[in-house]
Amino acid sequence: MSVEVLKEQHTLKIIENAEIEDAETIFELLQKDPKLSLDLSECKHLHTSCLQVLMLMKPNIVAWPKDKGLYMWLSFLKNGKKEG
C-alpha cells in the first residue's frame, strides 16, 4: 500500500508510487475529508489517475516531493486550495 493516513498530523502520505488502484482511495479520502493535507515527500510517481484526483481536489500540500522531476510537474498545486 503506497497510501498512508497519518491521523495525528491529519495528513495523507503517499509513499513511492501511487498506482491506478490508489486513485479511488485517495479520491474517497479527500472527498470524505477535504481538509486532509498531503505529504508527498517520499512520493516518486503518481499515476495519471492519482494526479488528476489531486488536480480536482487541490489538497493542501505539507511536504513536496524530493524527486525534482516530479516536483516540477506539481506546480498547479502550489496555489493551494481554491475556495468553494
Partner 1 sequence: MNPLMEQFVNEAKDILQGVSDSLMALEASPENKDLMNELFRLVHTLKGSSGIFEEFSFITKMLHKVEDIMDNVREGKIQFSTYITDAILEAMDIVSMVVDQLEESDGLFDPSFNKTAEEVTHSLSSLLENKEEYRDDSHVQESGEKEQLETYLREIAGLIPEDTKRKISEKGDFVFIAYRPEPECFYKGDDPFLLIKTVPGIVWGSVLPIESPDISQNIDIYRCMIGFDAISLASLEEVNEHLQYVSDQVKIGLFPALESCSLSAKDTASEVPKEVFEILNAQKEVLKSASGECFKGKVQAASNVISNVLMVLDREDLLGEVDKALNQVLNNNDTAPLLYLVEQIMTQTQVKKEKAEQVLSKQEPREEKEEKKKEQPVVSVPDVHSKIKTLKVDTAKVDRLMNLVAEIVVAKNSLLYLSKKAEEIYGARELSREIKNKYSTFDRIVEEMQDAVSEIRMMPVSVIFQRLPRLVRDISKKLGKKVNLRLIGEETEADKNVIESLSEPLVHLVRNSLDHGIEAPEERRQKGKPEIGNLTISAYQEADQVIIEVADDGMGIDPEDVKLKAYKKGLIDEEALERIDDQKALDLIFLPGFSTAESISEISGRGVGMDVVKNTLEKLGGSVSIETELGKGTKVKLHLPLSMAVTKVMIIESANQTFGVPMDTIVESVRVSKDSIKKIKHQDAALLRGQIIPLYSLNKILGIPQEQISNEDGELAVLVLRIGRARVGLVVDAFKGTMDVILKPFQGVLASMSYYSGSAILGDGSVLIVLNPKEFWHVS
Interacting residues with partner 1 (CB under 8 A): 20, 23-24, 27, 31, 45-49, 51-53, 55-57, 69-70, 72-76, 78-79, 82
Indicate the residue among 1 and 7 with the shorter CB distance to partner 1: 1
H or E segment to which residue 75 belongs: none
Closest CB to partner 1 among 13 and 54?
A: 54
Q: Identify which of residues 14 and 74 has a Cβ nearer to partner 1 in the complex.
A: 74
81: which residues sit within 8 A by CB, 6+ positions away? 34, 58, 59, 60
Give the span between the Cα atoms of 84 and 9, in whole angstroms. 23
